[in-house]
Structure 1
Amino acid sequence: MEPEIVRFPAVARLELDQLLEQLIERAQDVLGTQGRLRGLLAATRAISSDLDLPVLLRRITQAACDLLGARYGALGVIGSDGTLSEFITVGVDEATAAGTGPLPQGAGILGQLIRHPEPLRLADLGAHPAAVGLPPGHPPMGTFLGVPVRVRDQVFGNLYLTEKSAAGRPVEFSAEDEELLVALASAAGVAIDNARLFDVAERRQRWLRASADIVRDLLAEDAPALSLVARRALVAAGADLAAVLAPDPRAPERVQVVAADGEGADALLGTTWPRERFPEGGVPDPAAGPRGPAMLVRIPAPESEPPGLVWLARRAPGRDFEEEDRVMAADFAGHVSLAMELGRAQQNRRTIALLDERDRIARDLHDHVIQQLFASGLRMSALAARSPDPATGEALRGLIASGDETIRTIRATIFQLRSPVPEEDVAQELRDLTEEFADLLGFTPSLLVSGTGTAAVAGELAHHVRAAVREALTNCARHAHASSVVVRLEVGGGELVLTVTDDGVGLGGSTRRSGLANLRARARDLGGDCLVESPVDPASGGGTRVRWRVPLRGTRPAPTPAG
């Protein structure tokens, strides 16, 4: 018996085909949605795998392009002034990006998203009323999708995508694309927040390490204080330039760069600026240094002394200093002030210990040595009176006279030991010396003295330092034809370094080297060396730098003046 064949009416078969087609379409939609969700999850994992903020921002931009099939993508970071401080691009090669001019600041459609942080989807980028056109050399762009990136309810920046394609053909961004990009932006906000927290923690660690190092260094004997402050602050802040400023002793209304480290440090040393360019608690005038973000920190000082300033500057305009940087830098400046106060207290304790030791030596000389010499003189006087030999008696009286002279010398030494320790202000002596050369040079050389061990520059060593400065300034006056000269004395680490830098014509082919030979000979006699660098500025071929270095200890006795 043959099986019975079931036959459906034509109308019923048509409805079944339609239902099957709808089922297939919905299945394809489900598969497409699953693919998009998988893509969103993959993009979220990609942007959550790095805590380095610059790397993370580029990964977010690339993940957005990959997720929605966009040819070009960008992430604009909004600065404190409401313009774009950073602009990370994907899809545009470096040569093309360089040919389009400076990075955008937030005009046109980009500014529209800054002013109105809501998703914006356009079929034609140039048709929007806010559009201002693309710069010359910029790749053509039509379709557009932009969404804000929020971090803790604050708009951090915006994600921009253009030129979506599917199967090799340009298509418009859909509502689903907008939803996916909004979801990715939310995940990106969390990742950026984590990266920023990690960055703040790292910066805080750097500042804490710098504070600990500076306290240790400043409490070490003979530490070059101001140079260390500039160097530690430069590293901790991630700055391109760090400078320490102090009131100019010749003009209190101006500040002088007394120590600097980083880009352009040598050119800044010794320069002076009106104090109003560096308002305490404000931002320095950019005309005073690199044209980029800057930060000024006050170094607390006793009420009787004007405060110092630490100036930090960055060259890159996108690397703004944040409020956390200011707080941590202020803590660092507080540690610097405390360490310098402790250093001065240590120096005072050493001075007191030295005075106590001098007093003990003076007592011993008076109570023991002089008494023994006096008793020996009395015995020799008695022997001279009883001696039957006139020659022996005369010899004994000569010894008695010599002993009396020794007692008078010891008493003079005791008086000197019990007198206050003479304080030789080498800084003031060098300041007077630079002012002495003002007429010869046509200007007053700048003087920088740094280091807690300047008290060691006394006596014979101070004599050699004065002579070396005089020799170097004489050379500048005779041969350099300079418009500025910086004299810098650094004392620390067991050595003294004297640097004299001018912006003159340099040594060139000159054969006159007698002054430099004297400087080298003087340094060699003290166990040090003298190095001469010229030109200082390779671009102009001018300038000369003399670096005269000698140890603080082990110098030979000062020569006895004739007569």
Structure 2
Amino acid sequence: MEPEIVRFPAVGRLELDQLLEQLIERAQDVLGTQGRLRGLLAATRAISSDLDLPVLLRRITQAACDLLGARYGALGVIGTDGRLSEFITVGVDDDVAAGIGPLPRGAGLLGQLIRHPEPLRVADLGAHPSAAGLPPGHPPMRTFLGAPVRVRDRVFGNLYLTEKSAAGQPAEFSAEDEELLVALASAAGVAIDNARLFDVAERRQRWLRASADIVRDLLAEDTPALSLVARRALLAAEADLAAVLVADPRSPEGQDRVQVVAADGEGADALLGTTWPRSRFTDGPTPAPGFGPDGPAMLVHIPEDGSQRPGLVWLARARAGRRYDEEDRAMAADFAGHVSLAMELGRAQQNRRTIALLDERDRIARDLHDHVIQQLFASGLRLSALAARCGDAETAQALRGLITSGDETIRTIRATIFQLRRSAPEEDIAVELRDLTEEFGDLLGFTPSLLVSGPQTSTVSGELADHVRAALRESLSNCARHARATSVVVRLEVSGGQLTLTVTDDGVGLGGSSRRSGLANLEERARDLGGSFQVDSPAHAGAGRGTRVRWRVPLSPVPTGA
């Protein structure tokens, strides 16, 4: 018996084929969705594996492009002014980026997402009402998908994707793409928050270490304080240039000018010892033209402490460097407070040493007066008695010579006692110049020799002392920048109502006119005080070798034109 063949109607077979096709499509959709979910998990793992914030931001942008099949991607970081402060791109090579010009700040469709932080999907960029057009040289872009990246309750920035492709063909972003980007942006916010916390912790550790080092070093004896402040701040801020600034004592009333008294980093040698308008040292993302790195900068105020110590530290980065944020400023302010405190403690420590030294000097003076002089006087009386009784005229004359020599010795000892008992050493300009020569030891590679002579050094104080310190600083700065010297001798002579500061080096000599122009400040300073300025080569040096700078002013300066 033959088997019975069941025949389905044609309509039934068609419905079954359609059901099978739908089942296959659903299965493919499920597989595709699973693949995209796996891609989202992989992207989440990728962006969670690094705590370096700049690396993380680029990794997030690349992961978004890979996940959604976008040719171009960007992550715009929103600054405190509500505009884009950073713009990380993927898919645009360096040559194309250079041709486009400056990075966007948040106009057009990018600004639309900043003003309204909600996911935005556009089929045609040019047709959107907020579109501002693409700049010349920009790659063509049509499809667009954007989503905000939130860190806790604040919008950190926005993810932008353009030019989606599927199976090698241009395509539009779908609602599912939007959901995936929102999910990735959420994971990115958590990763960015962790990276920022880690970054802040590292920065705080650097500043705390710098504060501890500066307190230790400033309390040590014979330490060049200003150079240390510049060096520690440079390292803690990860800056390219650090400069310590003080008010220029020669600045006319109403003109706010500062002098660079210490510097470290890129261009430090050329900047050291120069004076500039205060406005040239900016505090923000806009660089000051004319010197140093041309990127973000930060100006740190050192709290007033009643001394003549520096009041500003300027930190600058290269153009591509990260901008300083409020956390940087807070940490730098704490560092400046520690610097001020360390300087105050250092002065207190120096005062204690000075008091101990004065007590010791007073003891020595008492011993000289009460014992040595009395013994010499008694010896002189005995010699006088011997001379009177001596019958030999030649011997008597020799004894009287010894008496005269003893009297001269007594006068010398009394002068020494007077010197020991005069005002505290820290008020003497010689001590301040000694500290200044030691400060330049790091820059020169050796400590200049200092010779001080004259009975009137204790009278050099106040504004005149400021000018002397500034003149020596400028002279030593010129030596450090130009001379290539192996020794420098500084002489200060104060006598006859005149103060003469002479700085002699064994370097390459005056050479061309460029170095002479660097001494213009010294000449102007001397002329303003009614003094004179001279620069030449030492007589003992060979032709064209060495430089001698002689700066002479009256002890009671009379400004020119008075």
Q: Same fold (TM over 0.5)?
A: yes
Instruction: Work out the CA distance in 2 between the residues paired with 1:316 and 1:284.
Output: 9
Instruction: Work out the CA distance in 2 between the residues paired with 1:341 and 1:12.
Output: 98
Instruction: Work out the CA distance in 1 between the residues paired with 2:86 and 2:419.
Output: 68
- Please tell me the residue identity of whatever aligns with 2:175: A
Query: Measured at CA, do residues 32 and 291 of structure 1 come closer, stay the same or move farther in structure 2, by a change above 3 Å?
Result: same
Query: Measured at CA, do residues 26 and 225 of structure 1 come closer, stay the same or move farther in structure 2, by a change above 3 Å?
Result: same
SS of the residue 1:312 aligns to: strand
Report what 1:500 is aligned to. none
Report what 2:225 is aligned to. 225
Is 1:462 the counterpart of 2:492? The answer is yes
Contact 1:278 1:285 (C-alpha < 8 Å) held by counterparts: no
Is 1:75 the counterpart of 2:79? The answer is no
CA drift of 1:137 comes to 2.0
Instruction: Work out the CA distance in 1 between the residues paired with 2:540 and 2:396.
Output: 56
Report what 2:379 is aligned to. 376
- Please tell me the residue identity of whatever aligns with 1:336: V
Contact 2:302 2:337 (C-alpha < 8 Å) held by counterparts: yes
Contact 2:215 2:338 (C-alpha < 8 Å) held by counterparts: yes
Instruction: Work out the CA distance in 2 between the residues paired with 1:416 and 1:430.
Output: 21
Residues 56-67 of structure 1 mapped to structure 2, 5 A cutoff: 56-67=56-67
Contact 2:248 2:275 (C-alpha < 8 Å) held by counterparts: no
Which piece of structure 1 moves more, 63-72 or 6-15? Answer: 6-15
Report what 1:365 is aligned to. 368
Instruction: Work out the CA distance in 2 between the residues paired with 1:310 and 1:151.
Output: 32
Report what 2:350 is aligned to. 347
Query: Measured at CA, do residues 164 and 467 of structure 1 come closer, stay the same or move farther in structure 2, by a change above 3 Å?
Result: same
SS of the residue 2:502 aligns to: helix
**What TM-score do you get using the length of structure 2 for normalisation?**
0.74
SS of the residue 2:28 aligns to: helix
Instruction: Work out the CA distance in 2 between the residues paired with 1:330 and 1:486.
Output: 32
Which piece of structure 1 moves more, 117-126 or 385-394? Answer: 385-394
Instruction: Work out the CA distance in 2 between the residues paired with 1:353 and 1:30.
Output: 87
Query: Measured at CA, do residues 315 and 346 of structure 1 come closer, stay the same or move farther in structure 2, by a change above 3 Å?
Result: same
- C-alpha distance after superposition, 1:27-50 (max 9, x if no partner): 222211111111001101111111
Report what 1:482 is aligned to. 517
Contact 1:446 1:487 (C-alpha < 8 Å) held by counterparts: no
Residues 167-246 of structure 1 mapped to structure 2, 5 A cutoff: 167-246=167-246
CA drift of 1:393 comes to 4.6
CA drift of 1:218 comes to 2.0
CA drift of 1:264 comes to 4.3
- Unaligned runs of at least 5 residues, structure 1: 437-443, 452-458, 489-513, 523-529, 533-545, 549-563
Identity %: 71
Report what 1:7 is aligned to. 6
Instruction: Work out the CA distance in 2 between the residues paired with 1:299 and 1:349.
Output: 24
- Unaligned runs of at least 5 residues, structure 2: 434-459, 478-488, 494-498, 524-533, 551-562
Which piece of structure 1 moves more, 477-486 or 220-229? Answer: 477-486
After superposition, the CA RMSD in angstroms is 4.2
Contact 2:241 2:315 (C-alpha < 8 Å) held by counterparts: yes
Instruction: Work out the CA distance in 1 between the residues paired with 2:462 and 2:8.
Output: 116
- Please tell me the residue identity of whatever aligns with 1:185: A
- Please tell me the residue identity of whatever aligns with 1:231: R
CA drift of 1:238 comes to 2.4
Report what 1:415 is aligned to. 418
* Bigger relative contact order (CA 8 A; separation at least 6): 1
- Please tell me the residue identity of whatever aligns with 1:245: L
Report what 1:518 is aligned to. 538
- C-alpha distance after superposition, 1:445-482 (max 9, x if no partner): 8965999xxxxxxx98434981228999x979999673
Report what 2:274 is aligned to. 270
Contact 1:143 1:162 (C-alpha < 8 Å) held by counterparts: yes
Instruction: Work out the CA distance in 2 between the residues paired with 1:37 and 1:517.
Output: 80
CA drift of 1:391 comes to 4.7
Instruction: Work out the CA distance in 2 between the residues paired with 1:55 and 1:284.
Output: 21
- Please tell me the residue identity of whatever aligns with 2:8: P
CA drift of 1:348 comes to 2.0
Instruction: Work out the CA distance in 2 between the residues paired with 1:406 and 1:152.
Output: 84
Is 1:293 the counterpart of 2:296? The answer is yes
CA drift of 1:72 comes to 1.2
Instruction: Work out the CA distance in 2 between the residues paired with 1:445 and 1:187.
Output: 60
Instruction: Work out the CA distance in 2 between the residues paired with 1:216 and 1:88.
Output: 41
Report what 1:338 is aligned to. 341
Select the residue among 256, 259, 263 that pairs with 1:257. 259
